Amino acid sequence: MSNSPTDPGSARGGRPTSSDVAQRAGVSRTAVSFAYNDPAKISTATRDRIMAAADELGYTPDPLARMLKHRKTGTLGLLLPQDIAQVMQNPYYAQFITGIGHVCEREGMTLLLCPPLRNSMLKAIPYAAVDGFIVTGLEADRGEVAELRRRKIPFVLVDSEPVTDVPSVEADDDKGGYDLVRHILELGHTRIAFLIFESGPDQPNLGYRGPLKRRFAGAERALAEQDLSLTSAGVVTVEAPCTRSGGYTATLDLMAGQAPPTAIVAFSDIMAVGALDALKSLNLPVPAAVSVVGYDDQPEAEWTQPRLTTIRQPIEAKGRLAGDFLVAAIRGESQHPRQLLHGALVVRDSSGQAPPT
Amino acid sequence: MSNSPTDPGSARGGRPTSSDVAQRAGVSRTAVSFAYNDPAKISTATRDRIMAAADELGYTPDPLARMLKHRKTGTLGLLLPQDIAQVMQNPYYAQFITGIGHVCEREGMTLLLCPPLRNSMLKAIPYAAVDGFIVTGLEADRGEVAELRRRKIPFVLVDSEPVTDVPSVEADDDKGGYDLVRHILELGHTRIAFLIFESGPDQPNLGYRGPLKRRFAGAERALAEQDLSLTSAGVVTVEAPCTRSGGYTATLDLMAGQAPPTAIVAFSDIMAVGALDALKSLNLPVPAAVSVVGYDDQPEAEWTQPRLTTIRQPIEAKGRLAGDFLVAAIRGESQHPRQLLHGALVVRDSSGQAPPT
DNA sequence: TCCGATTACTAACACGAGTAAGTACGAGGA
DNA sequence: TCCTCGTACTTACTCGTGTTAGTAATCGGA
């Protein structure tokens, strides 16, 4: 109303600043800052006057400016390998984020979901205002690690290949793969199909990254004990999208083949559920005709008919540890810890003795 | 190495700034900025020199400083009513965030999860560096709306009571409640139990907020058509935590009562699943002895045995619309749209004719 | 040879705050 | 009266960047 258009500090359409409040209360901008951050440094009378002025103008300190000054954002960044929509459809991530959430609650921090920018995780890094990153589903090339190092931003790797001097959280996927396949072999199966997620090079067990690679390594160890390998007759590997329908379609294809498997090892519960769907539609009893096992022990595993044998993985603990490590790294307390989490075979009803030949 | 300790611009432990790069390349700081943001304004030769210097020093523009200058963060804020860990355990939110995720992808934005700070959504607002908020699960008192208005931050309300001049997305929970109960009544049920989430005042249908309140209103309309009400004999309302075990325990209690219900109306699928568990453990066939219906049509609803009758709610669309509205509001294009989304009754196998008395 | 016009760059201000160092003032002690 | 000393406040610098306005050098044209 009384603002001349050239008046610089006044609310010219935008939000009021501390200068506006200072002017209105007849004090310096510093006094306004003190009123908010260090009330002891100012008389209660002027403090009240300042607060009243702030209230009338609708002033509120700008979070960005504070962050810039303090060099602290109060947010953890979660660097994702896929778009948010894809990630959230995967129950794995819901559990993982739950774990991080516990840390956020304890520390009073927020969580920023950072999907790739123009299909690149690397490009997403420079645009995130965070105190540090939790990096998950890292691509093989590792440009991201170099970039994060360049930037001197604290970060934690999850389910990635080990990198020196970087805190990391891993699961014993090798042992998981081993336990799962050994369980199947002990039941007498010899015609085994591996149902795996994501696309990779066409040579199995070569070029797979992260957890998948390690699960395969464990599987191969178990197979070797029975003088089998991933390339033995009867052992096949099929790739499909990590969805229920992906597992469904792949299983239909498998069972239509020459010598269909008697055991399907899915490296994801959700794909295993799809496999169960397919076998049901083919009227093949599980586990009498075909055994099915999954991985992760997500809640679905207990609801299927029959209930799913799987590897329980402490996903939530993984998130929590990653959060703890990151917070420690941000505080500079980090000793570059590396934690290996253990899974366990959960035998339910979907795996049984191989049918007589 | 060659930095004197009083040298102000040099990397004194921290990250290098554009001044450092400028000094190293023998140009002004402005030139460095141009090299990154407007290469046309600078000769290619010096641009290369600047980039080389930046590379050697490991320089990278500070996202916070950019945001402050541009008055734009490139992130949407999701203001949550509970801690991240609690929210992520609820499949509802996973779907909702999926919807927002589509918008984030299209706009190239990130998503900030803002849980309450010291049990207060209101206190979380000032600490978030976002371009706008999606507000969900708002408490009844509405302090948050006033605060967001004060701050002049764009925001969108989801599943809240209507507020004038604020974009909002709602579902027709009233119709959902009506359809669900009408379905049950048409099957001849008269002894009905409502299984609802969260704690409220002890008088049912009074003081409930948001969606729950509207679902009850719809339910009451349907009941009235049969000359029944929420306080009729045979109609009970039970509150329990919104979890599988919450539904389980509550149902056990219900069935142990004098005149146990023949229909259980859960206002959440996950509680309905718990109810099914309980009935199974009591050897009560569903729907022959007791019908069970849920709400939301989450993926679980199709996996249960029997498959669950429920109200399909377009949760993902809700998130997507909220995102769209928020982006429009941030751009200043907003006409304060209000969208009402429609659900639909999905009849599966868990609801059937009431047993003969 | 002198005049615009273009190119290539810089100085100076802005974004919105926090904070060390400095100043004016009144009270209290010698 | 003079000299502390504490209180209450301000001046001036800082965080790291974007960008307008302005200047020195170069070029083409007459």
pLDDT, tens digit (0-9, with 9 covering 90-100), for B103-120: 999 999 999 999 999 989
CA-based nearest residue in chain A for residue B113: A111
Beta-bridged to residue A111, according to DSSP, are A76, B113
Q: What is the DSSP letter of A41?
A: G
Alpha helices in chain B (DSSP H): 18-25, 29-37, 44-57, 63-70, 84-88, 91-107, 121-124, 143-151, 173-186, 210-225, 244-255, 269-281, 300-303, 315-330
- Is A272 near chain B, with CB under 8 Å? no
Whether the ω angle into residue B287 lies within 30 degrees of 0, i.e. cis, is: yes
Token readout for A139 is 């691509």
Q: Are residues A155 and A184 in the same domain?
A: no
Cis omega before residue A287 (within 30°)?
yes
Q: Is the CB of A7 under 7 A from strand C?
A: no
The letter for the amino acid at A251 is: T
Tokens of B90: 């609820």
* DSSP-assigned states of every residue in A89-139: TSHHHHHHHHHHHHHHHHHT-EEEEE--BTTBHHHHGGG---SEEEEES--
- Listed in sequence order, the residues at least 6 apart from A316 whose beta carbon sits closer than 8 Å to its beta carbon are A95, A96, A98, A99
Give me the total of CB pairs closer than 8 Å, taking one residue from chain A and one from chain B: 148
Cβ–Cβ < 8 Å for B345, B172: no
| pLDDT of res. A82 | 87
H-helix or E-strand containing B192? strand B192-197
B110 forms bridges with which residues in the sheet?
A: B75
Task: Give the pLDDT of residue B2.
Answer: 36
In terms of Cβ atoms closer than 10 Å to its own Cβ (0-12, 13-18, 19+), residue B184 is buried
Which domain range does residue A329 map to?
75-171+315-343
Q: Are residues B116 and B218 in the same domain?
A: no
- CATH number, domain of A220, equals 3.40.50.2300
pLDDT tens across the length of chain A (357 residues): 333 333 333 444 578 999 999 999 999 999 999 999 999 899 999 999 999 999 999 999 999 999 999 999 999 999 998 899 988 988 889 999 999 999 999 999 999 999 999 989 999 999 999 999 999 988 666 788 999 998 999 999 999 887 888 999 999 999 999 999 999 999 999 999 999 976 443 434 445 667 888 999 999 999 999 999 999 999 999 988 877 888 999 999 999 998 999 999 999 998 999 999 999 999 999 999 999 999 999 988 888 889 999 999 999 999 999 999 999 999 998 788 899 999 999 999 999 999 997
> Which chain B residues contact residue A111 at CB under 8 A?
84, 112-113
Q: How far is B109 from chain A (nearest CA, A)?
A: 8
Protein CA B199 to sugar C1' C14 (Å): 51
DSSP secondary structure string for all residues of B103-144: HHHHHT-EEEEE--BTTBHHHHGGG---SEEEEES--TT-HH
Kindly state whether residues B51 and B182 are assigned to the same domain.
no
Minimal-distance CA residue of chain A relative to B65: A68
Q: Does A228 reside within a domain?
A: yes
C-alpha B337/C-alpha B312 separation (Å) is 23
Query: Distance between terminal CA atoms of chain B?
Result: 91
Residue B299: closest C-alpha in chain A: A300
A49 CA vs C27 C1’ separation (Å): 25
- Looking at beta carbons, which residues of chain B come within 8 Å of A14? 152
Task: For residue B223, tell me if it sits in a domain.
Answer: yes
Cβ contact A101–B84 (<8 Å):
yes
Those nucleotides of strand C lying less than 7 Å from any protein Cβ are: 7-12, 14-20
Domain count for chain B, please give it: 3
Is strand D within 7 Å of residue B34 (CB)? yes
CB contact under 8 A, B97 and A112: no
Which two three-digit tokens encode residue A183?
């369980």
Distance from C-alpha of A95 to C-alpha of A317, rounded to nearest angstrom: 9
Distance B40 CA to C1 C1' (A): 33
Q: Which nucleotide is nearest to A17 (CA to C1')?
A: C16
CATH number at residue A6: 1.10.260
Residue B246: helix, strand or coil by DSSP? helix
Would you say residue B311 has pLDDT above 60? Answer: yes
Distance CA(A107)–CA(A353), nearest Å, equals: 50
What's the rounded Cα separation, in Å, for the pair B352 and B357? Answer: 15
Contact B112 A113 (CB under 8 A): yes
CB neighbour class for A43 (10 Å; exposed up to 12, middle 13-18, buried from 19)? exposed
Residues A104 and A116 grouped into a single domain: yes
Strands (E), chain A: 75-79, 110-114, 132-136, 155-158, 168-171, 192-197, 235-240, 263-266, 291-293, 310-312, 338-341, 344-346
B117-141: b (≥16 Cβ within 10 Å) or e = beeebbebbebbbbbbbbbbbbeee
* Rounded Cα–Cα distance for residues B63 and B48 (Å): 22
Pick out residues 8-37 of chain A having their CB under 7 A from any atom of nucleic acid strand C: 8, 14-15, 17-19, 29-30, 32-34, 36-37
Interface contact A88-B65, CB threshold 8 A: no
Whether B67 is covered by a domain: the verdict is: no
Q: Which residue has the tokens 């059937």?
A: B352
Task: State the Cα angle at A220 between A214 and A221, rounded to 5°.
Answer: 95
∠ CA B272-B275-B277, rounded to 5°: 115
CA of A276 to C1' of C4 (A): 81
Task: Check whether residue B141 and residue B212 sit in a common domain.
Answer: no
Q: How far apart are CA A7 and CA A193, in angstroms?
A: 74
Whether B303 contacts chain A with CB within 8 A? yes
The pairing of strands A310-312 and A344-346 is antiparallel
B291, burial (CB in 10 Å: exposed 0-12, middle 13-18, buried 19+):
buried
B23 CB-to-strand D distance under 7 Å: no
Does the residue B178 lie in any domain? yes
Nearest CA in chain B to A316: B85
Residue B116, chain A, CB below 8 Å: the answer is: no
**Do B217 and B275 belong together in one domain?**
yes
Write down the pLDDT at residue B167. Answer: 94
Shared domain check, B234 and B330? no
The answer to whether residue B356 is domain-embedded is no
pLDDT score of B340 more than 90: yes
Residue A140 confidence (pLDDT) = 63
Q: Are residues B178 and B298 in the same domain?
A: yes
> Residue A58 and residue B151: Cβ atoms within 8 Å?
yes
Give me the sign of the Cα torsion angle B186, B187, B188, B194.
Answer: negative
CA gap A304, A308 in Å, rounded: 6
> Is the pLDDT score of B1 beyond 60?
no
Handedness of CA B307, B313, B318, B320 (dihedral sign): positive
- A54 touches B at CB < 8 Å: no
Contact of B312 with chain A, judged by CB distance below 8 Å, is answered with: no
Q: Has residue B346 been placed in a domain?
A: no
| Long-range CB contacts (within 8 A, 24+) of B196-205 | B196/B237, B196/B238, B196/B239, B196/B240, B196/B266, B196/B267, B196/B268, B197/B239, B197/B240, B197/B241, B197/B242, B197/B246, B197/B267, B197/B268, B197/B271, B198/B239, B198/B242, B199/B239, B200/B239, B204/B230, B204/B231, B204/B237, B205/B230, B205/B237
Give dist(CA B46, CA B22) in Å, integer: 11
A154 and A276, same structural domain?
Answer: no
Q: Which nucleotide is nearest to A68 (CA to C1')?
A: D15
Alpha-carbon distance of B219 to B212, in angstroms, equals 10
Report the relative pairing of strands A168-171 and A310-312 from DSSP bridges.
unpaired
Residue A238, domain member (yes or no): yes
Cα angle: A76, vertex A81, A84; to 5 degrees = 70
- Are B133 and B148 in contact, with CB atoms under 8 Å apart? yes
Question: Counting beta carbons within 10 angstroms of the beta carbon of residue B100, is it exposed (0 to 12), middle (13 to 18) or buried (19 or more)?
Answer: buried
Same domain for A195 and A298?
A: yes
Residue B46, CA: closest nucleotide via C1'? C8
Q: Name the DSSP class of B42.
A: S
Q: Which residues pair with A266 in a beta bridge?
A: A195
Q: Return the pLDDT at B326.
A: 97
Residues A295 and A195 in one domain: yes
Contact residues, chain A, for B101 at CB < 8 Å = 83-88, 115
What share of chain B has pLDDT > 90, as a percent? 73
Tell if B38 CB is < 7 Å from nucleic strand D: yes
- Mean pLDDT score across all residues of chain B: 89
Between A34-38, A70-74, B141-145, B307-311, the lowest mean confidence (pLDDT) is in B141-145
Q: Which of A58, A67, A83 sits opposite B129 (nearest CB)?
A: A67
By percentage, how much of chain B surpasses pLDDT 70?
92
Q: Is B348 part of a structural domain of the chain?
A: no
Q: Which of B63, B68, B89 sits opposite A98 (nearest CB)?
A: B89
Same domain for B303 and B186: yes
